[in-house]
Structure 1
Amino acid sequence: MIPFTKAHACGNDFLIVTEEAAAGRDWAELARQLCARNTGVGADGVEFFAWTNQSGPGAREGRIRLHNADGSVAEISGNGTRCVAAWMAEAAGALPGDTLEIETDAGLRICHVNSVNREKGFTVDVTTGMGVPEFTARTVTIPGGVQIEGVIVSTGNPHFVILVDNADFSVDGQGWQSIGQQICGHPDFPYQINVEFVRILNPGEIEIRIFERGVGPTSSSGTGTSASATAAIALHGGTSPLRVLAPGGGQTVAWNGPGTELQLTGPASLIARGEAWG
């Protein structure tokens, strides 16, 4: 049996499984099995966790390795990291003002606990340092010779951000899901790329849609939110702090521009615990 905790951040859901519980297993296959919506527990990915500070029940340092729902490895998920922060906060008895340190394949992420709510389950509001984003304009040609202009943004993992000016997020008459799938698996990106579609509502607020590699359309993405905000602030007149609205809810990005670290704030909730046959 594989013990797990299920958590979500703005509807972007993850399973947290300790490395000890997954010892001797093929993590990619285990992720595919557990994440299956109809035959497994169901999730967008599995965060495999190990404590790195063994000082006792108050330990607040850990390491995670992320496998997407299709079993592929991802460097980091902003929402997944925040879900792990919620799990650590409960385990450590963390309070507002406390800090959690999480090592990811994209580097160390420092998570500051802003609030803790135990009224219905366990929910935290967390601000996470997401590193210094890098960005560059890029044009991608998809089948039919259609050229899609966007911005490649690195937030520890790769994103292609497309600015749209319509409420349905379509591009060149095609639905955003179709465009996202074509760009995600485009030969220009041999390891695939996350794709975001950004609609600017006003200088302080944008709305996005997300096509995530290894998953497909998702209700939210922390790194996608960060990448979208980077493009909006750097190139399209957005202001910081910037509210970013996704189908699963809103998050807030504070960023002072190129060369500075981006800060992402949003909620994460623990929603279930159980055991699965593995």
Structure 2
Amino acid sequence: MELSFTKMQGCANDYIYLDCRTAGVPENIAALSEKLSRRHFSIGADGIICICAPRTAGADAMMRIFNADGSEGRMCGNGIRCVAEWLYTHGVQKEQLAIDTLSGLKTITRRGEGLWQVEMGAYSTLPADLPAVNMGGAPLVDVPLEVDDNLWRVTCINVGNPHCVTVVPDVDALRLEEIGPAFEHHANFPERINTEFVQVVDATHLKMRVWERGSGETWACGTGTCATVAAMTELGICPAGEDVHVQLRGGELTIRVLPGNELRMTGAAETVCEGTTEV
């Protein structure tokens, strides 16, 4: 069978996009994501994102995310900007779009050529919302976490999916391929965890690397960048109500913490190529 796809990237967080609005999500989507995401042996990506018919009345589409290991994610900040860009360039030319996700309805506003602003919703630091176990019931802000016999100070944030954020002196010096899996599969996080390692440049500029559950290190993560700025705000390092610029391996995202712990993300979305593949 021949499958049509679009490959897109937001800050080098690249996914294979499938138009599933009419036919629905392929039954073998988990296996398909594993197969097509393999770099050097297939299209290569961080996973597959399916653009589906909306569930909410008046919405423009629904996004479903399947990681490179076939597991399904709930929300992807870089991915949803690309979905908006795909819709805009495929006949839904609206300056503001509403897209369903497994983490709720998100509003995305076009701010320029290939530039989109996403209202990401409110974040939570409560362990029940991640979920996290064996860490008490209080907000998980600057708490100890033992990982492979090393003690880390972490802040855990739910932004529609779970994140664990920790400050390090030099993100470039980390051996993330060794550290990341131990965080992801830590017993305190029964649904696994995304982990962000952040270096503070100044109050409104950060550097970050991310280990995503199901995908390993990616060059960017939109929800992870939001979680990082939320964590830095909770720690009193970054100011609420101001743009915070986060440098990732794949580019820069701008995040603002709004009243009510609401988060706003602005960043680019770009089509890499379109094609077909035999599956």
Q: Could you say whether these structures have the same fold, taking a TM-score greater than 0.5 normalized by the shorter chain as the test?
A: yes
Structure 2 counterpart of 1:132, which letter? A
Distance in structure 1 (CA, Å) of the matches to 2:186 and 2:85: 35
Q: Secondary structure at the match of 2:178?
A: helix
Per-residue deviation, residues 51-100 of structure 1 (Å, max 9, x unmatched): 339x9xxx9700111100110111111111111111011113526xx101
Does 2:176 align with 1:198? Answer: no
Residues 23/102 of structure 1: CA separation in 2 closer, same or farther (3 Å cut):
closer
Q: Which residues of structure 1 form unaligned runs of 5+?
A: 117-123
Q: Secondary structure at the match of 1:168?
A: helix
User: Aligned runs of 1:126-137 on 2, under 5 Å?
Assistant: 126-135=116-125, 136-137=140-141
Distance in structure 2 (CA, Å) of the matches to 1:106 and 1:234: 22
Partner in structure 1 of residue 104 of structure 2: 107
Tell me whether 195-204 or 12-21 shows the greater mean CA deviation.
12-21
Residues 182/23 of structure 1: CA separation in 2 closer, same or farther (3 Å cut):
closer
Among 241, 250, 253, the residue aligned to 1:251 = 253
Partner in structure 2 of residue 182 of structure 1: 182
User: Aligned runs of 1:81-230 on 2, under 5 Å?
Assistant: 81-92=80-91, 94=93, 98-116=95-113, 124-135=114-125, 136-137=140-141, 138-143=143-148, 145-166=149-170, 168-170=172-174, 175-230=175-230
Distance in structure 2 (CA, Å) of the matches to 1:193 and 1:244: 20
CA apart distance, 1:188? 1.3
Partner in structure 2 of residue 121 of structure 1: none
Q: Secondary structure at the match of 1:189?
A: coil
Residues 94/39 of structure 1: CA separation in 2 closer, same or farther (3 Å cut):
same
Distance in structure 2 (CA, Å) of the matches to 1:26 and 1:176: 31
Distance in structure 1 (CA, Å) of the matches to 2:248 and 2:98: 26
User: Structure 1 length as normaliser, TM-score?
Assistant: 0.88
Distance in structure 2 (CA, Å) of the matches to 1:189 and 1:260: 23
Q: Which residues of structure 2 form unaligned runs of 5+?
A: 126-139
CA apart distance, 1:180? 1.9
Could you say what the CA RMSD is over the residues aligned between the two structures, in angstroms?
Answer: 1.9
Structure 2 counterpart of 1:177, which letter? E
Q: Secondary structure at the match of 1:88?
A: helix
Tell me whether 42-51 or 217-226 shows the greater mean CA deviation.
42-51
Aligned residue pairs, count: 259
Distance in structure 1 (CA, Å) of the matches to 2:6 and 2:171: 36
User: Aligned runs of 1:263-274 on 2, under 5 Å?
Assistant: 263-274=264-275
Partner in structure 2 of residue 120 of structure 1: none
Distance in structure 1 (CA, Å) of the matches to 2:23 and 2:215: 24
**Aligned partners of 2:171 and 2:209 also within 8 Å:** no
Find runs of 4+ consecutive structure 1 residues off by over 6 angstroms: none
**Aligned partners of 1:60 and 1:99 also within 8 Å:** no
Residues 67/24 of structure 1: CA separation in 2 closer, same or farther (3 Å cut):
closer
